[in-house]
């Protein structure tokens, strides 16, 4: 073989990403408030659950604000963490939410849906950061 292992200069896709993608990512990171991304609070709860020793989520049946009972994967934590993880409360008029939301102070099941089943290794850095904080 006569091909070279290295590359002579930056590839066009790398330059395009550096010029377009990185500034956009930085701008969005600064513009979007904490707790306003669709599943950000669920990822935080998953990290807190890992810190609490819950390596994998479990399933329970939850009744939602639309009156339908559905199975959901989640974790058992103090609901105060759920309140802290959001920028504003859920909107039951837009999406069904678990009802009633338990009061902070005693552990309760918090549905995380598919996030409750994600590989726990992804949440170790976040859990260590929350634990250190």
Residue 25 CB neighbours (<10 A): 11
Q: What is the pLDDT of residue 20?
A: 92
| pLDDT at residue number 94 | 64
Give pLDDT, residue 126: 92
Residue with tokens 């956009």, as numbered in its chain:
24
Low-confidence ranges of the chain (pLDDT < 50): none
Residue 6's pLDDT is 60
66-69-71-72 Cα dihedral, nearest 10 degrees: 40
Entry pTM: 0.70
Give residue 17's pLDDT. Answer: 86
Give the pLDDT of residue 127: 94
pLDDT on residue 37: 80
End-to-end CA gap in the chain: 54
Interatomic CA distance for residues 82 and 74, integer angstroms: 12
The answer to whether 112 and 45 are in contact (CB under 8 A) is yes
């Amino acid at each position: 073989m006569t091909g070279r292992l290295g590359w002579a200069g930056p590839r066009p896709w790398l330059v395009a990403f550096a010029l377009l993608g990185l500034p956009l990512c930085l701008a969005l990171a600064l513009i979007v408030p904490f707790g306003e991304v669709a599943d950000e609070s669920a990822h935080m709860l998953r990290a807190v659950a890992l810190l609490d020793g819950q390596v994998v989520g479990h399933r329970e049946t939850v009744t939602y604000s639309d009156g339908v009972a559905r199975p959901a994967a989640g974790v058992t934590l103090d609901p105060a963490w759920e309140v802290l993880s959001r920028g504003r409360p859920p909107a039951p008029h837009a999406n069904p939410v678990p009802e009633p939301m338990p009061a902070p102070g005693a552990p309760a099941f918090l549905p995380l849906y598919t996030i409750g089943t994600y590989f726990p290794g992804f949440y170790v850095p976040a859990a260590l950061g929350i634990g250190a904080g």
